[in-house]
Copies of this chain bind each other. A is one copy, B any other.
Amino acid sequence: MPELRKDPVLGSWVIIARERAKRPSDFARRPPEKRKGQETCPFCYGREDQTPPEVLAYRPGEGEPNTPGWSVRVVPNKFPALDHRAELASREVGPFTFLSGRGVHEVIIETPEHEASLVTYPREQLEAVWRALIERYQALARDPDLRYIQIFKNHGAVAGASLEHPHFQLVATPLIPPLIQQELDASYRYYTARHRCIYCDIVEWEERENQRIVEKNDSFLILCPYASRAPFEFWLLPRRHKSHFFLLTPSELRELAAILQEVMRRLAASLEDPPYNLMLHTAPVDLEAAEYYHWHLEVIPRLTVWAGFELGTGVYINPTPPEVAAKFLQVSLRDIH
């Protein structure tokens, strides 16, 4: 079973996933962009038996589970970082704290088309992906052992994607991750002091300043954050203050898909389809709707390498000011072509 271990000094956590244990020989160097091709891809039509049985699928026509014909398909990760069968248990041994690796790790296959991507498939497809994410989120949120559900997407081998067929991932953890806890704590302190949400204040400030806004519509705003950790980092912030993402209305879902695709297309066009990580930041499952927290998406293109300075200090060096990045991402594809 995987296990969660707490760093005795920093209090941060790691997941030691013994099931994924690798011997030194398994780390032999491969060309970083070499990925499983379409010929053997377990996420393509006809290979549904190569994944664990699906937990959700949208099938526009008829069709049996775990057969072709789906438009979006959700399956448990074959090599999960956490295990749903683990008993929740905690232990202290000497200076060390241990928590059993209870959790869920699922893969949301965005489309049956291996060569498609978030920037090429239709907007309706991205809306369906988000509907599937919400559906799985709400199903897992009922499990009292799971305290946080992290939704993310890795695009490109440099960003950690091991399969190229487009997919999101979802990892449900038995603890609130430290980065989310830090955001919650800081937002709570800000709210307590000023009775305002810090993210609402940032949205208001950025719209007024108009230095780092990339794109906006009635429901969302995309900006390059003031303290961007990486070149072309951008955040998608909902205008409507909500701590939980899953309350999106159908029209908001449409607007989310539209603005995210538009900016992702600009990123892909101007930077040769760069590798990136996309992360949802939302409130913990057991938190009631909170005035102080504001869900959002963060996208980090992986164009530079975080090295010894970043790993040693927690301070990131970013060569591209967000004001410059925002200007590039403001240029619509119409103007590029």
Contacts and interface: CB of A to CB of B under 8 A. Distances in A.
Contact of A318 (B17, B32, B186, B321): B17
A313 interface: yes
A202 B272 CA distance: 47
25 contacts: A7-B227, A9-B187, A12-B227, A12-B315, A13-B227, A13-B314, A14-B227, A14-B229, A14-B317, A17-B318, A94-B205, A95-B205, A96-B226, A152-B307, A152-B309, A152-B311, A159-B308, A161-B307, A178-B313, A179-B312, A277-B307, A277-B311, A279-B311, A280-B312, A300-B311
Contact of A305 (B29, B158, B173, B314): B158
A299 to B, nearest CB: 10
Given A22-B319, A307-B277, A319-B20, A180 B313 contact: yes
Interface string A299-335: 0100101111101111111111110100010000000
A244 to B, nearest CB: 16
A201 interface: yes
Interface size class of A (residues with CB under 8 A): 35 or more
Contacts of A324: 21, 23
Given A8-B202, A28-B272, A227-B8, A279 B312 contact: yes
A150 interface: yes
User: In terms of DSSP, what is the predominant structure of the interface of chain A?
Assistant: mixed
Nearest to A279: B312
Interface in A271-298: 271-272, 274, 277-281, 298
A228 interface: yes
A171 interface: yes
